[in-house]
Every structure is written in C-alpha cells, then in structure tokens.
C-alpha cells in the first residue's frame, strides 16, 4: 500500500520554530516530525511515500532525497496551501489503489496497524483513527459522529459548537473514491478545501467509513508547546522498561 504524507504547510502557529524550515522539519526528540511519520509508515509496510511539499520544499527534498529506509519517495508540489482536500488532489495521478494518508505534523505511538488492517478487509471505503478529546479542544479538529457499528455518519471541520468530542486524528486509509469527492469539495468559510467535506460526500453517497479508536497517543504539533509535549511523550516511551519473557526456571 502506498502512503501519502502531507507536508506542504507553513506552520505559522509554530513560529519561531518554522521561521527557516517547514513544520515537518521541526525536530522532536532530535528527529524531524517527518522522520517519525516515515518510521511509522515503514513499520506498516508502505511500498512508496508520496510526499506533498510546498513551503520551503527544498528543505524536505534535500534532507530525504529519493528514498527513506529503502522506500522510494515521490514528491508532489502543492503551490498554494488551500486545505487537505486540495493537497490530496496533487497526488491523484500517483494513486490507483487503497492508500494510507498521514498528516506530516502529527507524532504517533498508536495502533495505526488496526486502521490498515480494517482497510484490507475490503468492507470499507475509508477508515481512520479517532480519539476523544476534551470538549473545549474539539473545535481544533474535524469532529465525528458514529453509529452503533462504529461507522462514521457525519464529519464537521473545526466547528464552533462541536456535536461531539470524537475527533479525527492525522491518520487515514482510503480507496481511490476519495479523489472524485475531493473534486466536488467547495471552499469552506475558512477558504479551504476541507478533507472532512470530501469524507462527508463519501458518506452521503452510501460509502462505508469506519472509525478506529485510538489506542496509545498522538500529538498534533500545531504550537510550540505541542512540540514539547510530543518530545516528553517520546522520551517517556524510551524510558519504559522492555518486557522480558518469564523464566521457565
């Protein structure tokens, strides 16, 4: 399965960390955020990375070149940052099957493999990791409603009055059906082409989209304090004792 990595953003909220680099190159625990993303995707068996670049793209291209840990990298250029659905359309020509999508400003230690496994069951048109957040933080994200089967029934992007506190994280799987939906998306009140609207169009057309509950943690690195939080969590993970098999003696 190919993996699309969205890394075109300028990261204005992360300044001064992004004054001379794109936000995907901001270091967390001595590694760029993108390196953490790539490592996750390698473990998931990604056969190719398609990285959407934009702001200071040369920093990313020069650092990673044409492969990472043996996985080839293709770059797609988003000339204007007009939202995630707009970014996704820049890779349409490179995708002809199910694929993974990760936002290049998220750090995960979570059950991403459960999302991929659900997609591979061929009973769903999309799946993504969701988590419950404090109600006062939900308006930062795409907010979801689900039915009793765990299927997504509605998605609203950054609502002022969230209908729930269940939000999309930055990891998804899709079939290529997402691309026609992205073409139909109209600019939101924020002037962006939102991935949540494309997902909602899939739902309205009768497609099945599954929510997989987060097991573990993730940090959306939107502000400098988020970077510090992601670094703290990674260091805590490193300090955890490694489980050893019980002795037979």
- Residue 149, pLDDT score: 80
pTM: 0.90
SS (H, E, C) 57-90: HHHHHHHHCCEECCEEEEEEECCCCCCHHHHHHC
Q: What count of other Cβ atoms lies within 10 Å of the Cβ of residue 54?
A: 20
> In angstroms, rounded to a whole number, what is the distance separating the alpha carbons of residues 115 and 211?
8
Mean pLDDT value across residues 65-69: 96
- Residue 245, pLDDT score: 46
- Cβ 128 vs Cβ 60: under 8 Å: no
- Tell me: pLDDT of 220 over 50: yes
Question: Residue holding tokens 């089967």?
Answer: 149
Model confidence pLDDT, tens digit, residues 168-205 = 888 999 999 999 999 999 988 888 898 888 998 998 88
């Amino acid at each position: 399965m190919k993996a699309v990595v969205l890394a075109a953003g300028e990261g204005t909220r992360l300044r001064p960390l992004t004054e001379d680099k794109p936000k995907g190159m901001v270091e967390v625990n001595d590694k760029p955020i993108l390196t953490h993303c790539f490592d996750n995707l390698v473990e998931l068996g990604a056969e190719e990375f398609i990285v959407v670049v934009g702001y200071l793209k040369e920093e990313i291209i020069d650092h990673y070149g044409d492969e990472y840990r043996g996985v080839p990298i293709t770059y797609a250029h988003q000339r204007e940052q007009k939202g995630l659905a707009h970014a996704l359309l820049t890779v349409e020509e490179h995708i002809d099957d199910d694929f993974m999508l990760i936002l290049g400003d998220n750090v995960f230690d979570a059950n991403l493999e459960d999302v991929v496994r659900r997609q591979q069951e061929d009973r769903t048109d999309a799946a993504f990791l969701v988590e419950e957040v404090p109600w006062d933080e939900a308006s930062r994200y795409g907010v979801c409603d689900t039915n009793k089967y765990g299927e997504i029934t509605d998605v609203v992007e950054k609502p002022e009055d969230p209908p729930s506190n269940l939000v999309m994280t930055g990891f998804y799987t899709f079939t290529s059906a997402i691309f026609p939906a992205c073409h139909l998306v109209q600019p939101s009140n924020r002037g962006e082409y939102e991935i949540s609207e494309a997902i909602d169009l899939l739902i309205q057309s009768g497609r099945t989209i599954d929510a997989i509950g987060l097991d573990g943690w993730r940090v959306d690195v939107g502000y400098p304090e988020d970077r510090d939080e992601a670094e703290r969590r990674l260091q805590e993970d490193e300090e955890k004792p490694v489980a050893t098999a019980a002795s037979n003696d």
